[in-house]
Amino acid sequence: MNLLDSLARLRLFRFEFFDTGAAYRAATARLDQINALVGVCMFNARVSRAQPAFIWGIISLLLYVYLAFESTIWYRDNIDKLMMCITTHGFSLQMASKVYTFILNRNRVIEINEINLKYFGTSGRKAASQLECLKPSAKIANILITMTIFGYVTLTSLIIAIPVIYGLIVSKKVLPMGYEVVHSTEWPGYIVNLLFQINCMIYVSLTTITSDGTFILFLMSAIGQIDAILGRLSEFSEQLKQTDDDEQITGNLKQILRLHQHHQRYMRKLDDLFSTYFMIAIISLYFCMSVCLASFLLLNWYMGILMFCFSSAQIFFMCFLGTALQTKAEQMLHEVDSLSWHQLSVQNQKVAVLFLAAVQNPISLTAAMVELNVATYLQIHKSVYSACMFLLRSKE
């Protein structure tokens, strides 16, 4: 029993759909249900962005940025509060990049979504084996989106609840974050600060769920396209052993080439959409992780661990799916290389050479010329750890 079958035993990860098009539409509908809570719609151009919830979210973001800097200056002589305030600067930059990439610049998101709807909407004209190849990526996309929703909701709830519960236990007013609307230790000021921080954390959490969920959905669609190409390559390999019909072989080979050309165009659009966002996200989250871990080690700020996990989870999705995409691309290269090219006609061999050359140069996800994969994820964490160990040695 594979991992998908194991997870399917749990009701939470059980998804029933007639075809991959239905699975894709169900995933976008789930994300738009969450989008509606913050007053946005990423996948439908007819829905106006001038929604009260979205306007309030932008106002909250602007206030968040201002209060983060104002509180940093206010608490410049209090090292504990200062470190908590500094942590928020990285999140504000990352949130601004999310709002720009997925909401203000949503035309590109809508364009990619329409490409996927058209691709999965032609299921009736696809071979049965090709449809079967698309199912695993559709299931994984829904599973990852579910894990994203529950993971971020859990982390956000803990970030909000733990300081409040701890404060009640020790009879001390403790806030989850460092920025404040009112610099007061009295109950009215504490309640105002707590409510605004909860408002910001909810907005950050929901926006992070939908942006990361959209990224997961688009990347799993790209992986599904490669699976479909692999399925056709497998059929083509069997066909070479069973028939000498050159016209039929030519038709199937050109169809596989068209599938790969579609995949390449799709990956270029993904790279155009996400490249700048990846660069800003990696830099800002790296900053947040470094400050959070340093605050935990030097100041015993235990909330830093939760904030570290929140930042690390966002980088993980980028790098994990980047590795999955690279693995599939290598698998496709191996499949193409193992075909019996000597059985093809001279004309088909020329087409095959073009196909092989294209497969050898896959388009991968990058952030500032750095490929996003598990190795990059580990290198980021290693760099954060090394910087924090240097601070500890300096302190000693």
Residue 362 lies in a domain: yes
Asked whether 156 and 64 are in contact (CB, 8 A), the reply is no
Going by the DSSP 8-state scheme, the letter that residue 16 receives in this structure is -
How do residues 177-234 score in pLDDT, each as one tens digit?
889 999 988 999 999 999 999 999 999 999 999 999 999 999 999 999 999 899 888 8
Mean pLDDT across the stretch 87-97? 85
Question: What integer best gives the mean pLDDT of the chain?
Answer: 86
Residue 16 lies in a domain: no
How do residues 155-175 score in pLDDT, each as one tens digit?
999 999 999 998 999 888 989
Which CA distances in Å does 218 have to 24, 125, 359? 10, 22, 20
Query: Domain of 148?
Result: 27-395
Asked whether 350 and 259 are in contact (CB, 8 A), the reply is no
Note the pTM of the prediction, 2 decimals.
0.90
Mean pLDDT across the stretch 57-63? 92
From CA 290, how far away is CA 161, in angstroms rounded? 23
Residue 15 lies in a domain: no
Whole-number pLDDT of residue 7: 63
Mean pLDDT across the stretch 255-279? 90
Residue 275 lies in a domain: yes
How do residues 350-371 score in pLDDT, each as one tens digit?
878 888 888 888 888 887 778 8
Question: For the chain, how many structural domains are there in total?
Answer: 1
How do residues 33-58 score in pLDDT, each as one tens digit?
999 999 888 888 888 877 899 999 99
Q: Is it the case that residue 251 has pLDDT exceeding 80?
A: yes
Which CA distances in Å does 122 have to 116, 118, 131, 293? 10, 6, 10, 49
Residue 13 lies in a domain: no
Residue 290 lies in a domain: yes
Q: Is it the case that residue 2 has pLDDT exceeding 80?
A: no
Residue 11 lies in a domain: no
Q: Is it the case that residue 297 has pLDDT exceeding 70?
A: yes
How do residues 302-354 score in pLDDT, each as one tens digit?
888 888 988 998 898 889 889 999 999 999 988 888 887 777 788 888 878 88
How far is C-alpha 241 from the geometric centre of its chain's CA atoms?
42
Residue 14 lies in a domain: no
Which has the closest alpha carbon to 317: 224, 383, 220, 387? Answer: 220
Mean pLDDT across the stretch 136-162? 89
- 155 Cβ neighbours under 8 A, 6+ residues apart: 205, 306, 309, 310, 313
